[in-house]
Amino acid sequence: MKHDISALMDGELFEDEADALLDKMKKNPQTKQEWQTYHLIGDALRQPDHVCKDISASFRERLQAEPTVFAPRRRVTQKARYFALSAAASVMALALVAWMSMQVATEPAPQIASVSQQNSVRPASFSSNSVNDYLMAHQEFSPSTDVQGPASYIHTVSER
Amino acid sequence: MYPSVKVLSFLLPLLCWHSVSADPQRRDDTDWLKTMAFAAHQTDYSGTFVYQDGVGGHVAVSRITHILDADGEHERLEGLNGARREIVSNNNQVWLYVDDRKIRIERRHGERTFPALLPEQISSLKENYLIKLAEEDRVAGFHVHAVIFQPKDNLRYTHKMWAHNESGLLLKAVVLDERARIIEQYAFTQLTLGGKVDRTWINPDKSFPPISNKDDVTPLAKLATDSKAADWQVDALPGGFKRIMEVCRPMRDKTRPVTHLVYSDGLAGISVFIEDLGGREDVNPGLSSQGAIQMYRRINGDKLITVVGEVPPRTVIQVAESVRYAGQ
């Protein structure tokens, strides 16, 4: 159902499918909330500066729990082309897994180590000089400094 | 399309099998860490490396030089992106150039009585991590061996390190969370080893103004001689973390010294800073992070508690929440 609502919003449903879904939504008031939530998500993604300030904490939590919403794909007229794209995507995913297995993990079934798909809380990054003081003080004694040498100071030097 | 899928799914287990079966070493796996730490201090090298913060996707390129001579260790690290930032160090003195300011930081490095990797820490390393030798590879044209430190719980990160076969120098490192997502990584893209290193570059640039402001000097941390540091207890440290240092350190912009406790599990460090809040209102409690380093601050009565470590967010939060005063 959620998936259908999302598809409807993105204009990815055929006309008859959309009609059926709208009928269903009229009968079920709970779906109205979903509809609103998806619109809020859409708004938040488009204009994060304007929306975030007003939304409630509970919604923010929920947004963080949601899977990453990618830009919707334009509906293609021919279904065959759609399948071709899916197949291409599968090949890409497999290639990525294969590449990651070489790059990172030696486990037989490595997870796709994706940089962008982070649903967990993303904390603010360090900024002020006073924070740097704590960082420098920490690195003076941390064992990682011993192994990495001056490279461990990258956190202080790297410009955000 | 479909034949490619088949080929790849056939190749995938093959690739994994290959990397697992890579040349088994007869030496103790923890030796690699000792070798890397030794090489980091003893090797002359200079090069360029790329750093990526996996969480924000931020990429930084830096130039680095390390030289050991009769006067000791000299290092320079310069960020090549954005505003000018660099670190220049001569033994126990460090200069941080940031936002057109020059800050001098005193560190105990020269006189420090502990190499961070003591034998007891090496043994605690084995208790907390599964250490596996992985594939051989090439980084910046140099032959390397990969070692994986996989934690036995989810309160620390997985570290994968690629060490140069001959010198033991760390040439590439990746930090992963429990779902194998990259938290940060860096790798040399160009490297010069030994006598060919250009030594002129480590002399600090004269274009920065000299230190005129007393606030720009961080005084030397002193070993905690009073009982203050010992009175603080951290109840919820992850298993295997041991207190390796307690100092009472004056810090810049602080009127009173800060108690600094350092814990280590042999690979990751956790610092606990405890200071008087002193009526300050500019403190932002909560979590902040940069790559694999997390910082969590909380206010406890009239004290400000700051926890910094190369551990996941949940660990710094858990540690900070469990700090309590056990003295009279």
Looking at residue B137, its pLDDT comes to: 95
Closest CB to B55 among A108, A118, A138:
A118
Range in A88-102, B158-172, B257-271 the model is least confident about: A88-102
Mean residue pLDDT of chain B comes to: 80
The pLDDT confidence band at residue A114, using thresholds 50, 70 and 90, is: very low
Q: Enter the pTM of the model.
A: 0.67
Residue pair A121/A64 in contact (Cβ under 8 Å)? The answer is yes
| Three-state SS at A152 | helix
The pLDDT confidence band at residue A73, using thresholds 50, 70 and 90, is: low
CA A102 distance to own-chain centroid: 24
Q: What are phi and psi of B31, to 5 degrees?
A: -55, -30
- A57 has a chain B CB within 8 A of its CB: no
Q: How many Cβ atoms sit within 10 Å of the Cβ of residue B298?
A: 17
Looking at residue B92, its pLDDT comes to: 76
The pLDDT confidence band at residue B90, using thresholds 50, 70 and 90, is: confident
d(CA B19, CA B160): 14
Range in A33-37, B133-137, B215-219 the model is least confident about: B215-219
| Three-state SS at B103 | strand
The yes-or-no verdict on residue B318 having pLDDT over 80 is yes
| Chain B residues within 8 A of A90 when measuring between CB atoms | 5
Q: What is the pLDDT of residues B71-83, one digit of tens each?
A: 888 889 988 888 8
The yes-or-no verdict on residue B88 having pLDDT over 50 is yes
Highest mean pLDDT among A15-24, B7-16, B38-47, B98-107 belongs to B38-47
Looking at residue B214, its pLDDT comes to: 58
Residue pair B292/A135 in contact (Cβ under 8 Å)? The answer is no
Which residues are paired to A71 by β-bridges? none
H-state helical runs in chain B:
2-20, 30-42, 119-128, 313-321
Cβ under 8 Å to B: A residues 97-126: 97-98, 101-108, 110-111, 113-116, 118, 120-126
Cβ under 8 Å to A: B residues 129-148: 132, 134-135, 148
The yes-or-no verdict on residue A103 having pLDDT over 60 is no
Q: What is the pLDDT of residues B275-297, one digit of tens each?
A: 988 777 777 889 988 889 999 99
C-alpha distance from A90 to closest chain B C-alpha (Å): 8
The pLDDT confidence band at residue B248, using thresholds 50, 70 and 90, is: confident
Closest CB to A160 among B58, B64, B306:
B58
Looking at residue A95, its pLDDT comes to: 63
Looking at residue A62, its pLDDT comes to: 75
| Three-state SS at B67 | strand
Q: What are phi and psi of B133, to 5 degrees?
A: -85, 130
Residue pair A93/B24 in contact (Cβ under 8 Å)? The answer is no
The pLDDT confidence band at residue A147, using thresholds 50, 70 and 90, is: confident
Closest CB to B268 among A107, A144, A154:
A144
Range in A66-80, A133-147, B144-158 the model is least confident about: A66-80
Closest CB to A125 among B89, B271, B288:
B288
* Mutation for B interface: A64, A83, A90, A104, most B CBs within 10 A: A104
The dihedral region occupied by B313, where left means phi > 0, alpha psi between -120 and 50, and beta the remainder, is alpha
Task: Answer whether B160 sits within 8 Å of A145, measured CB to CB.
Answer: no
Looking at residue B289, its pLDDT comes to: 87
Looking at residue B151, its pLDDT comes to: 96
C-alpha distance from B60 to closest chain A C-alpha (Å): 6
Domain boundaries, given as residue ranges, for chain A: 2-73, 76-123, 125-160
* Mutation for A interface: B6, B12, B42, B213, most A CBs within 10 A: B12
Looking at residue B138, its pLDDT comes to: 96
Task: Answer whether B251 sits within 8 Å of A105, measured CB to CB.
Answer: no
- B105 has a chain A CB within 8 A of its CB: yes
Looking at residue B10, its pLDDT comes to: 43
Looking at residue A100, its pLDDT comes to: 52
- A80 has a chain B CB within 8 A of its CB: no
Task: Answer whether A111 sits within 8 Å of B180, measured CB to CB.
Answer: yes
The yes-or-no verdict on residue A158 having pLDDT over 60 is yes
Looking at residue A83, its pLDDT comes to: 53
| Token pair belonging to B213 | 């402001």
Domains of chain B (ranges; CATH) run 19-202 (2.50.20.10), 221-325 (3.30.200.100)
Looking at residue A23, its pLDDT comes to: 86
d(CA B26, CA B188): 27
Q: Which residues contact B5 (CB under 8 A, 6 or more apart)?
A: A87, A90, A91, A94
Task: Answer whether B16 sits within 8 Å of A132, measured CB to CB.
Answer: no
Closest CB to B12 among A101, A126, A148:
A101
Mean pLDDT, residues A17-21: 85
- B38 has a chain A CB within 8 A of its CB: no
More confident residue, B233 or B94: B233
Task: Answer whether A157 sits within 8 Å of B58, measured CB to CB.
Answer: no
The pLDDT confidence band at residue A31, using thresholds 50, 70 and 90, is: confident
The yes-or-no verdict on residue A144 having pLDDT over 60 is yes
- A160 has a chain B CB within 8 A of its CB: yes
Range in A31-40, B45-54, B257-266 the model is least confident about: A31-40
Residue pair B216/B61 in contact (Cβ under 8 Å)? The answer is no
